[in-house]
Chain A
Amino acid sequence: MIRRRLFTATLVAATALALTFLVLPLLAIFLRVAPGELVSQLGNDVVLDAIVVTAKATLISQALILLVGTPTAYLIASRSFRGRALAITLIELPLVLPPAVAGIALLATFGRLGLLGGTFEALGVTVSFTQAAVVLAVTYVASPFYLRQAIASFEALDGSLLDASRTLGAGPARTFFRIALPLASSGLAAGAALSFARGIGEFGATIMFAGSLQGVTQTLSLAVYAQFDLNLDLALALGGLLVLLSAAILLAAKLLPAWTRSTSTLLSPFARFGSS
């Protein structure tokens, strides 16, 4: 009896410790600076520039990730081909790669002296330390989050639905747009939210490959680090903004599957409450 209570007490204590450890630093941001001060700091040029750079880079990279990632995931999920397992592993590699390595790898590829640097130079295009570099860094680091989830979502589709579409006269493209895409949509949205959150928080690869130039390549995450030495209150205000943004994305990712479920599973809410 005592042993059982001791065990339960241990579990509760561990949970309390874990939650406190994870939440306290977030609270500290808001406790350290008064809310009014926090809001007034957000009018600072550094913040506004960082918001613009982050929004631009994230939206462009998300568009690239969705446009290229979705067909890629569909191919990998729906066909079996030689090297498929290898392709999946290669897609997952950036997930576990230290971001600083991703940054130096991007430099080695697109930098002035990099693998493709000569080609870009001949075309008169400079990539490193520009907004394009921010987009590439964010895309490189964030896309595997989407790809993995999208592959899993397409793999989970009932193959007979796709077959049925074909026998009903729809070619592979129509089948993709009318059946596969709508039915996988909640999974794809969850993947997009994950990669979006990862993109917002990108730091290591961006600072190596794009630098931290205010108004050009300085994203919100980079601005926190840059302001850390100059204006701690501003750094904290930026931190608070990112906490709220991340919380909103997480909430969206949790709620999305719930409100798309009625169209993506066999049982609609009506059936659940109605017939049985």
Chain B
Amino acid sequence: MDALHVDIALPLRPFRLELALAAGRETVALVGPSGAGKTSVLRTIAGLARPERGRIALDGRVLFDATSGIDLPPEERGVGYVFQDYALFPHMTVEQNVAYSGGKRASETLERLGIDALAKAHPGELSGGERQRVGLARALARNPDVLLLDEPMSALDAHTRAAVRAELAHTLDDLDLPVLLVTHDFADAAVLAGRVGVLVDGRLLQMGTAGELVAAPSNAFVASFTGANVLAGVARRGRGGLTEVTLDDGSILYSVDEGEGPASVAVYPWEISIAREAPEDSSLNHVRRPITSLVRIGNRARIQVGPLVGEVTTASVERLGLHEGDTVVASFKAAATHLVARES
């Protein structure tokens, strides 16, 4: 049964936030570029911002209803909120921060999150990851009915990110609560949340598991946000039941998806293979261009070839002796592409 029901409209500049969302005892992420209205969603649920119309209910309790005039103040909503940058009270110790809500004993919560050793420390003395856990402990100490997290990863150093993210994912999995988190990073959302919604200009473009979004992005924005190359063109029916897409630069790509008229071709970096010459395989799409950038990250290399970014192993980079400036062929199958609506 769904625990959290949200159906709200709120005018924001320069757009209008309109969102309907239901969540059970699961972690749902809203992802989108900054300024998409993500934080406003959390603030309306917490009672810190007032929607123009709509209804918010939690476990059958109505928190807000524009029609009947119900608008509970934040302190009566039973919402746990982890703020961006955590908003820990700087004049209180960790223990005092967690005990602030007067909920169950602070020491228990600190122990549960493995930060009991920090009880007497002030927030200024903590690392980013520790602050995150204190923020989480404080929000959970009052036994909230929903947990809201605003960009929980954004205040962290790059070198602690991965470890903190894994730990947070573990903590959230153990909670028997609806959790709504917002982030501008699709990778964070994919790790932390079971379902991911893409929010742009106040509208939910698509909602699904991270895998579903990648397998079938509903439009060009979702495709590029989830990491795909997106190439704009015009589609028409071609030979052999394939769709032929003439790109703006005149070159032609093939897709198994059906479509006609203005459309974009989306293809993920890991679907692209790089070679000196066009391979003799089933790949129908070939882009021959010089390498404009080649970046190694661990045992993977990201290679920019014309408009495409491909991801290959560093082993194959060495085998082919690739360097920036070399002309190569980036190939991918018609079946590896997604035909999506063009961004307006």
Chain B interface (Cβ < 8 Å from any Cβ of A):
43, 46-48, 73-75, 77, 79-81, 83-85, 87, 89-91, 100-103, 122-125, 127, 138-139, 142
Contacts and interface: CB of A to CB of B under 8 A. Distances in A.
Contacts of B125: 268, 270-271, 274-275
B85 A160 contact: yes
Interface residues of A, number: 26
A271 B102 contact: no
Given A163-B48, A163-B74, A166-B73, A182 B100 contact: no
Contacts of A158: 87
A266 B80 CA distance: 22
A86 interface: no
Given A163-B48, A164-B89, A183-B91, A171 B75 contact: yes
Interface string A259-275: 00001111110110011
Q: Is the interface of A mostly helix, strand, loop or mixed?
A: helix
Interface in A205-249: none
B90 A167 contact: no
| The 3 nearest A-B residue pairs measured at CB | A166-B74, A168-B101, A160-B87
Nearest to A265: B90
A264 B91 contact: yes
28 contacts: A160-B83, A160-B84, A163-B43, A163-B46, A163-B48, A163-B81, A164-B81, A165-B89, A166-B47, A166-B73, A167-B47, A167-B74, A167-B77, A168-B75, A168-B101, A170-B100, A178-B100, A183-B91, A263-B91, A264-B91, A265-B90, A266-B124, A268-B90, A268-B122, A268-B124, A270-B122, A270-B125, A271-B122
Nearest to A272: B124
A179 interface: yes
A46 B138 CA distance: 60
Contact of B75 (A167, A265, A267): A167
Interface string A161-181: 101111111110000001100
A170 B89 contact: no
Contacts of B102: 169
Contact of A179 (B83, B89, B103, B124): B89
B118 to A, nearest CB: 12
Given A163-B48, A270-B122, A271-B124, A168 B138 contact: yes
A245 to B, nearest CB: 31
Q: Give the most central of A164, A166, A167, A270: most B CB within 10 Å.
A: A167
B329 to A, nearest CB: 50
A80 to B, nearest CB: 14
Contacts of A163: 43, 46, 48, 74, 81, 83, 87
Contact of B80 (A167, A170, A265): A167
Contacts of A166: 47-48, 73-75
A203 to B, nearest CB: 39
A268 B121 CA distance: 10
Contact of A266 (B73, B77, B100, B123): B123
Contacts of A165: 89, 100
Given A268-B125, A270-B122, A274-B125, A168 B91 contact: no
B89 A161 contact: yes
B90 A170 contact: no
Nearest to A171: B75
Contacts of B138: 164, 168
Contact of A167 (B79, B91, B127): B79
A167 to B, nearest CB: 4
B82 to A, nearest CB: 9
A267 B125 CA distance: 7
Contacts of A274: 125
